[in-house]
Structure 1
Amino acid sequence: MSIFKSAFMISSFCAIALSAQADESPLTPHTAEYQVNYGSIELGKARYQLPAPQDNLYQYRFDSDVSLLMLWDKRTVISTFSEEGGQLVPMRYIHNRSGTGSDYQEQSAYVLDQKLVHSRYKDERAKFPYTQDLFDPLMVQLQFRLDIMKGSDKLHYKMLKSGEIDEYDFKVVSKERMVLPSGTYETVKIEVVRDNDKRQTFFWMSPKLGYLPVRLTHFEKGSKQLDIQLLNYHYSEPIMAQTDKQTTEQPKVAADTPPQMPPKS
């Protein structure tokens, strides 16, 4: 089941960079669907949904359904948060997992006036102090994208997941054109910083799409294990960027030009 756990952890953080003007904000209502592969084997799909906020209350959702032979894994993750001056403030996080092996649920509630977070992972309950640099593992990817748009060079994030607080660092590798079956994208390539080279995780983000991730690959001991690629996206408001043949107003076309939460060391 480690394949599916890795697939979730990676795809749930596949969402710096060099400052460039994006045509969309990460908080613009949108959906994005991805193909999840293990090597050359198709495992299934993952989907993100960010509806329009209500009274500055956002709800970001992730769904995945992957399988390999007789093994299967299905997850739904929902993050509720607000936004204050470009800073996202977590409120509630729910993660439901079912499939081969044990089903479980993870929940966290952020009690800001008490500067406390109540956490439940499987049957374990815990409390953690709340600080402004602490995020849940889903909404943190939106904060990540917002920080990039602001030109932030501090790519360090703390996340509460699986009943523990983990810290992640990232670095910009290069700018790169990414050619996928869904289209061609001008991207910024990011690497997860680790203490050794046994694991490597890279992802590519499109500035024109509000730094939406278009691809993520994960290597174990030099061998590609996971490859997650953008299949399609849709913003509720048309993206201004145009191509020679078409615009991205069509929800099933995902391209800059016609024909994208990592395991811890």
Structure 2
Amino acid sequence: MKLLWIVSAALALAAPPLAAAPDAFQASYAVSAKGLEMGVMNASLRYDGETYTYQKITKANGLAAVLSGDTLTERSTGKKHAAQLLPEHYVYHHKNKRKDKKDEFRFTTATQVDGSFDSNTYQLNVPTGTLDMAALELTLMDALATNQALNYRVLSKGKLQDYRLRKLGKETIEVPAGNYECEKLEVMHDNNERQTTLWLAPKLDYAIVQVRHQEDGDVIETRLKQYQ
């Protein structure tokens, strides 16, 4: 079973502007597959002085928890400088009864990274403005609010990736938390075998309300249950 918070995407060659810091929030999401709720994800952004922590924990529930024991933890920490966020440390840990995958790295400078993926260590030189996958979500919130281009560079699994998204227009959707008018986006994948669509609500400062990811015939949905 896949319990993934999939805000994956594609980032382009120009370094993006630093994200303006969103307000602190807490949110919970239902994760479903084949129309059945398989897990719950809790997300939170908090500030402690001049630092931020954005964390998401996804856990299987019900029968899925018994069968898989699936847990996914993703966390981005860094500095809040004036109104901007500067990522410093990232952890992605996906664990169940069959596997234990971990991706972790630290920005030692604005353009240098030390990390490890699947127990293999690496050092990389990266462009200024490179993001981790969690910080990408916070940057996307600011980009939509200020009408910026949706092109980024992201470090994931020891590789620098280009991420691109495109707007599909506005759509009002119903999720467990209620009805929201959303900006609908599509991740520009390199092949047609994967499709990722996101809905972000201006009413919630462009927080993610729903994600739908389709791959290998499977559809995984993440839908907002509560936001504060």
Q: TM-score, normalised by structure 1?
A: 0.74
Counterpart for residue 117 of structure 1: 113
The code of the aligned residue for 1:225 comes to V
Aligned to 1:259: none
Distance verdict in 2 for CA 1:28–1:87, change over 3 Å: closer
* 1:74 to 2:71 alignment: yes
Q: Runs of 5+ in structure 1 lacking a partner?
A: 15-24, 235-265
Q: Cα RMSD between the aligned structures? A: 2.2
Q: Give, as a single letter, the amino acid of the residue that structure 2 aligns with 1:65.
A: K
C-alpha distance after superposition, 1:54-73 (max 9, x if no partner)? 1x211111101026362231
Q: Are the equivalent residues in 2 in contact too, given 1:26–1:210 (CA < 8 A)?
A: no
Q: 1:204 to 1:81 in 2, by over 3 A?
A: same
Identity of aligned residues (%): 23
> What aligned pairs does 1:11-160 form with structure 2 within 5 A after superposition?
12-13=7-8, 27-54=22-49, 56-66=50-60, 68=64, 70-84=67-81, 87-112=84-109, 115-152=111-148, 154-160=149-155
3-state SS of the aligned residue for 1:138?
A: helix
1:86 Cα deviation (Å)? 5.5
| Counterpart mapping for 1:164-183 below 5 A | 164-183=159-178
> 1:104-141 CA deviation, whole Å, 9 max, x = no partner?
4322110116x310011121000111322311111111
Contact 2:21 2:80 in 1 (8 A): no
CA distance in 2, matches of 1:9, 1:124: 24
Cα deviation per residue 1:161-183 (whole Å; 9 max; x = unaligned)? Answer: 11222221100001111122321
What runs of 5+ residues in structure 2 fail to find an aligned partner? 10-19
2-side partners of 1:226 and 1:8: how far apart?
A: 8
Within the alignment, does 1:198 sit opposite 2:187 as a pair? no
The offset of 1:148, in angstroms, is 1.5
Out of 202, 223, 228, the residue aligned to residue 229 of structure 1 is: 223
Query: Between Structure 1 and Structure 2, how many residues are aligned?
Result: 215
Structure 1 runs (4+) greater than 6 angstroms displaced: none
Q: 1:26 to 1:182 in 2, by over 3 A?
A: farther
The structure where strand makes up a greater share of residues is 2
Confirm or deny that 1:185 pairs with 2:173: no
Residues 98/200 of structure 1: CA separation in 2 closer, same or farther (3 Å cut):
closer
Q: Secondary structure at the match of 1:70?
A: helix
Question: What do residues 174-201 of structure 1 show as CA deviations (whole Å, max 9, x unaligned)?
Answer: 1111122321101111011134433221
Distance 2:123 2:183 in 1: 37
Aligned position for 2:12: none
- Matched residues in 2 for 1:70 and 1:147: separation? 40
Given that 2:21 and 2:83 are in contact with CA atoms closer than 8 Å, whether structure 1 keeps it comes out as: no
> CA distance change for structure 1 residues 133 and 52 in 2, over 3 Å: closer, same or farther?
closer
Q: Distance between the aligned counterparts of 2:191 and 2:96, measured in 1?
A: 32
